[in-house]
Amino acid sequence: MDLGIRGKRALVCASSKGLGLGCAEALAEAGVDLVMNARGADALEAAAQDLRDRFGVRVETHACDVTDEAARAGLIERAAGVEILVTNAGGPPPGLWSDWDREDFIRALDANMLTPIALMKALLPGMMAGGWGRVVNITSQSVKAPIPALGLSNAARTGLTGYVAGTARQVANKGVTINNLLPGIHATDRAVSLDSGVAEAQGISIEEAKTQRAASIPAGRYGTRGEFGAACAFLCSQHAGFIVGQNILLDGGATNMTI
Ligand code: NAP
């Protein structure tokens, strides 16, 4: 399917690896020029060069911590005028409900709620002025069904979800859509780190932790960054203009619910 977005320009945050990279790859395959971001400059440049080589699109890189306000200002300047925004950052650490103090919550809110909101506030006006735009926020299945060990994520991402629900409906009449993609478990470094935590807590190997988790998913396996990126690129396509303010689960059926 031709996604109809060849020649458009996108900012994809936290995209040297994992789900962000999956989104960058799928957009590049659709002919979208990119601004890619991550903290580590070497992995970022390597990922960018790979996409230039494979898809012939223009790829700029901007290495910085997207959750840091001052650093993010430079990224926003670099990305000025983008028609597509994919927000993403690392997820908060796991723990128990009683573990976290105010500073832990502030860090999680900064990374997984206030950063995507700041990016939208900065870049939506340009999209609205141009009469076309697409925003996809990478959140988590934890906004539909809480993950007990990820209380910081449950809290921060639900706040973002509330903001998007209202904002998406205020910008849709300018041709701009905002939607959230909710990953369940995907085979990325983040999954390795979550499985390592389970392995340590239960005294089992990482492979056993992974097999145990995969068995709890109706699809019987982890998702891939390619599948995730394809869903993101579709939401950014010309065909998705009537999909507004939605929260789309990509979890292999793991969240047990009817609607
Ligand atoms: P990942 O494989 O660990 O990749 C994270 C990417 O983000 C890397 O490119 C990393 O590069 C970059 N990054 C991390 N923090 C950053 C920051 N502060 N500023 C800029 N770049 C940053 O993680 P992932 O699995 O793709 O997860 C992406 C998001 O989805 C996370 O918020 C995660 O919690 C959420 N999620 C993932 C899963 C899953 O199963 N994978 C499930 C639910 C939710 P640098 O380290 O060089 O910055």
Beta strand 33-38 with 59-63 is parallel
Task: Identify the pLDDT of residue 126.
Answer: 98
Residues with beta carbon inside 6 Å of ligand 1? 14-20, 37-40, 43, 65-67, 88-91, 138, 140, 183, 185-186, 188-191
CA torsion, points 20, 22, 24, 29, in degrees to nearest 10? -170
Among 1.10.1740.10, 3.40.50.720, 3.40.47.10, 3.90.1150.10, name the CATH number for the domain at 9-184+225-244.
Answer: 3.40.50.720
User: Using 50, 70 and 90 to split pLDDT, how confident is the model at 210?
Assistant: very high
User: Using 50, 70 and 90 to split pLDDT, how confident is the model at 59?
Assistant: very high
**What is the position in ligand 1's atom list of the atom closest to the CA of 67?**
18
Cα 222 to ligand 1 centroid, rounded to whole Å: 16
Task: Identify the pLDDT of residue 39.
Answer: 98
**What is the position in ligand 1's atom list of the atom closest to the CA of 223?**
40
* 222 touches 189 (CB < 8 A): no
Domain limits of the chain? 9-184+225-244, 185-222
Question: What does the alpha-carbon distance between residue 45 and residue 61 come to, in Å, rounded to a whole number?
Answer: 7
Determine which residue's CA is closest to atom 18 belonging to ligand 1.
65
List the beta bridge partners of residue 47: none
Question: What does the alpha-carbon distance between residue 11 and residue 81 come to, in Å, rounded to a whole number?
Answer: 10
* Residue bearing tokens 């929260």: 247
**What is the position in ligand 1's atom list of the atom closest to the CA of 142?**
43
Task: Identify the pLDDT of residue 194.
Answer: 87
What share of the chain has pLDDT > 70, as a percent? Answer: 100
* 24 touches 45 (CB < 8 A): no
Give pTM, 2 decimals: 0.97
Q: For the segment 118-160, what is each residue's pLDDT rounded down to a tens digit?
A: 999 999 999 999 999 999 999 999 999 999 999 999 999 999 9
List the beta bridge partners of residue 9: 33
* 62 touches 87 (CB < 8 A): no
CA 142 to the chain's CA centroid: 13
Q: For the segment 215-237, what is each residue's pLDDT rounded down to a tens digit?
A: 999 999 999 999 999 999 999 99
Q: For the segment 84-121, what is each residue's pLDDT rounded down to a tens digit?
A: 999 999 999 989 999 999 999 999 999 999 999 999 99
* 23 touches 12 (CB < 8 A): yes
Task: Identify the pLDDT of residue 34.
Answer: 99
Q: Does the pLDDT value for residue 165 go beyond 90?
A: yes
Task: Identify the pLDDT of residue 74.
Answer: 98
Determine which residue's CA is closest to atom 33 belonging to ligand 1.
91
Cα 18 to ligand 1 centroid, rounded to whole Å: 6
What number is the average pLDDT over the span 166-176?
98
The preferred substitution site among 21, 39, 158 for testing ligand 1, maximizing ligand atoms within 8 Å of CB, is 39
The preferred substitution site among 11, 15, 17, 137 for testing ligand 1, maximizing ligand atoms within 8 Å of CB, is 17
